[in-house]
């Protein structure tokens, strides 16, 4: 059995920088036609000069692969209209992080008060620049995303022209918000379609499944599966593939992030086949994102085949999800 995916897109990807960038970027550019590249470097990408320089490093790291890095700026509440008008030619979105909520987010937003954010939000609304949000509070870890739901509602109601993407959603509550507000969309990761907190910490602690936002309850996973598998037009694949060296994962103070970039399409094919909806994989990994972002990607055809694929123990020192196990689908060819 074979399955053809046209121009797969990863709408939430961490490529890091320097040596790690050179290790992991080719693992995405090999099988994807493009990806939304996260700006939370150290220091974060807040200027056009830094953005252009980072994009150049990304392009150099992927050599001749047909892959378009879709760049983003790290949100600041003092971006003005003139700056964003110039930036629009170089970016696909702006990413908002609450302060200290995840990796390299110390320079994030401290206050979610509408008036503090109005200048940038109004300019983004007028210019048609999407807002991407890591939606968590600093509350109890299992409740952080749900608690942020009221913030999403305030954003959506006060700025109805602003396209808001709830990044890597993990709860039924976030899924329900999609039906309540026309301007709310979401990305969903591979790992949150597979795991719950029990897989992370129910037995022996698995540091390679520890991520932020943390995996939630079975009912939350079922809600994510429902909208992803049904090809709901308001959701799209965003791997949130977040590489860290093995010694940063298997240590005290485990770094947050699950690395899925090189195995994502194979694992998604297996998941969608298991549920009898292989035909819905194309919208989830490409078509919905094209419609949401008004974006036409590079033409790239990925042919998957029903053939066992053994996931290695690591890719250049980074441990992937499903390491040392076999997936039912492989990548046969890319044209």
CA-to-CA distance for 335 and 330, rounded, in angstroms? 15
Residues 6 or more apart whose CB falls under 8 angstroms from that of 230 comprise 277, 280
CA-to-CA distance for 106 and 101, rounded, in angstroms? 8
Token pair of 217 as six digits: 């309850």
Integer angstrom CA distances of residue 98 from 67, 107, 133 = 30, 8, 9
- Please, are residues 253 and 34 in contact by the beta-carbon 8 Å criterion? no
Longest dimension (CA), the chain: 55
Is the torsion defined by CA of 232, 233, 234, 235 positive or negative?
Answer: positive
- Neighbouring CB atoms inside 10 A of 118's CB total 13
Could you write out the DSSP letters of every residue in 104-147? Answer: T-TTSBS---HHHHHHHHHHHHHHT--EEE----SS-TTTHHHH
- Please, are residues 51 and 25 in contact by the beta-carbon 8 Å criterion? no
What beta strand segments (E) does the chain contain?
Answer: 2-6, 9-13, 34-37, 68-70, 72-74, 93-96, 131-133, 164-166, 184-188, 235-237, 301-305, 309-310, 326-327, 330-334
Whether 17 is catalytic: no
- Candidate list 10, 65, 220, 240, residue with the active-site label: 240
Residue 279 burial by CB count (10 A; 0-12/13-18/19+): exposed, middle or buried?
exposed
* Active centre residues (catalytic): 240
């Amino acid at each position: 059995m074979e399955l053809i995916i046209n121009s797969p897109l990863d709408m939430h990807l961490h490529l890091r920088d320097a040596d790690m960038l050179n290790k992991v970027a080719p693992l995405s550019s090999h099988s994807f036609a493009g990806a939304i590249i996260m700006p939370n470097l150290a220091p974060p990408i807040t200027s056009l000069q830094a953005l252009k320089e980072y994009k150049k490093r990304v392009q150099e790291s992927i050599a001749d692969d047909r892959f378009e890095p879709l760049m983003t700026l790290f949100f600041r509440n003092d971006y003005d209209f003139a700056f964003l008008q110039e930036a629009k030619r170089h970016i696909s979105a702006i990413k908002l992080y609450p302060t200290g909520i995840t990796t390299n987010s110390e320079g994030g937003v401290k206050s979610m008060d509408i008036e503090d954010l109005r200048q940038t939000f109004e300019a983004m609304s007028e210019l048609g620049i999407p807002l991407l949000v890591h939606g968590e509070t600093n509350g109890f870890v299992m409740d952080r995303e749900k608690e942020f739901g009221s913030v999403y509602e305030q954003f959506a109601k006060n700025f109805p022209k602003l396209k808001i993407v709830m990044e890597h959603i993990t709860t039924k509550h976030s899924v329900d918000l999609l039906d309540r507000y026309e301007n709310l969309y979401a990305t969903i990761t591979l790992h949150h379609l597979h795991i719950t907190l029990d897989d992370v910490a129910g037995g022996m602690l698995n540091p390679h499944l520890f991520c932020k936002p943390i995996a939630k309850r079975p009912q939350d996973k079922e809600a994510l599966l429902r909208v992803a598998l049904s090809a709901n037009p308001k959701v799209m694949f965003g791997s949130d593939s977040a590489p860290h060296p093995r010694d940063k994962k298997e240590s005290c103070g485990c770094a947050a992030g699950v690395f899925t970039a090189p195995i994502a399409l194979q694992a998604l094919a297996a998941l969608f086949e298991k549920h009898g909806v292989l035909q819905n994989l194309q919208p989830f990994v490409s078509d919905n994102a094209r419609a949401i972002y008004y974006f036409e990607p590079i033409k790239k055809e990925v042919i998957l085949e029903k053939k066992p694929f053994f996931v290695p123990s690591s890719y250049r020192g980074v441990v992937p999800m499903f390491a040392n196990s076999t997936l039912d689908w492989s990548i046969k060819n890319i044209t």
